[in-house]
Amino acid sequence: MTGSPAAAAPQPQGLIAGFDAGQSHTRCRLALPHPAAGVVLAEGEGPGVCHLAAPDGPERFRAALQLSLQSALERLPAEAQAQAGPEPLLAAAIGASGIEQGTAVQEEGRRLAARALQLPLERLEVTGDERTALHGAFAGGAGILVISGTGTIAVGQDGQGRSHRCGGWGWLLDGAGSAMDIGRDGLALSLRMADGRSPDSDLRRALWQALDLGVDDPQAPQRIKTLVVQPQFGAAGFAALAPVVNDLARRGDAEAAAILEANAAALAAMVVAVAAALELQNPAVVTSGGALRHLEGLHQRFAQRLQEGLGGAHLVDPQGDACAGALQLAQQLADQAA
């Protein structure tokens, strides 16, 4: 007499959610938890976030999560509604701009997210968006992610639980390798050209034209000084000038090329430091961010400097994006809750 077949383990009810909350917009991706193979069902979008310490930081964070989740739920296939149940989320992970690991800001983010998503803290993770991007890029394995956009940061993991970050301390303190620094370095050089400390060149004229300033206007330096301290200028205002510097370098401008060279070397130094901290001998490296994606002069010089500083390093394509990394973390939380 044979025994009756063992009953299949019940499937956990609910979905897992991965959020990528940036300053411009927030994405929410919904998936079935294992053992349903982590099938992605829907993705929605909501508004961006700002630092939680800002006056409207908590409210913007709440709205970003709730509206992006609602957008994803509205796109959920009808057959997935039964799996979701009356309380759709089983677990969620959020990678958000401005969240520093192990800080009071991170704890506040977790409390805000718990209320916004109606989840207990033990089924919720809130971390920096660079860390979810790292998880997505290497699917939990060893590697280093270097991000250069308006700002910059490098993060790595050894696949055995250790991680290390380098840079990313804010544009006022530590933007080397970013579009912000490239634009600011170019603009600063243009002022030295204007007052006679450096020889004049096309770089000054191109940058001043980009700012709608007369290239022969004797008051232009004073106008620039006033412009850059306006609240609406900030890091993004400097970063918007980086493509001008990149284009000049491409056309052979020596000063522009030197600016790209210095920033590429700074990015490579960050990767070398992460590799040393994690004892990674021949690390896989993924590049991300608008500056490395769109400024070909920066990317080419970074690859050259990286080979000089860490010959075994090799550039690879990411296995997944930040939302995929957030879903991996959410799956871990769902597994722990099972």
**pLDDT tens profile 1-10:** 444 444 444 4
Domain assignment of residue 3, yes or no: no
* Ramachandran region, residue 168 (left: φ > 0; alpha: ψ -120 to 50; beta: rest): left
Total number of domains in the chain = 2
Nearest partner of 298 among 177, 161, 141, 181, judged by Cα: 177
Q: Can you give the pLDDT at residue 7?
A: 46
Domain assignment of residue 218, yes or no: yes
Indicate whether 45 and 106 sit together in one domain. yes
Indicate whether 226 and 112 sit together in one domain. no
d(CA 15, CA 146): 31
Low-confidence ranges of the chain (pLDDT < 50): 1-11, 36
The parent domain of residue 42 ranges over 15-138+320-337
Domain assignment of residue 262, yes or no: yes
Domain assignment of residue 23, yes or no: yes
User: Which distant-in-sequence residues (6+ apart) come within 8 Å of 333 by Cβ?
Assistant: 16, 91, 92, 93, 122, 123, 124, 125
Indicate whether 210 and 299 sit together in one domain. yes
Which CATH number is 86's domain given?
3.30.420.40
Indicate whether 98 and 218 sit together in one domain. no
Indicate whether 269 and 326 sit together in one domain. no
d(CA 330, CA 314): 29
Domain assignment of residue 61, yes or no: yes
* Alpha helices (H) in the chain, listed in sequence order: 57-74, 81-84, 104-117, 129-138, 179-194, 202-210, 220-227, 234-239, 242-250, 254-278, 290-294, 296-309, 322-337
Biggest alpha carbon distance in the chain?
100
Domain assignment of residue 327, yes or no: yes
Domain assignment of residue 35, yes or no: yes
Its pTM stands at 0.84
Indicate whether 301 and 204 sit together in one domain. yes
Indicate whether 287 and 329 sit together in one domain. no
Give the angle 144-145-150 at the CA atoms, nearest 5°: 150
Whether the Cβ atoms of residue 27 and residue 47 lie closer than 8 Å to each other = no
Indicate whether 191 and 283 sit together in one domain. yes
Indicate whether 183 and 295 sit together in one domain. yes
Indicate whether 309 and 331 sit together in one domain. no
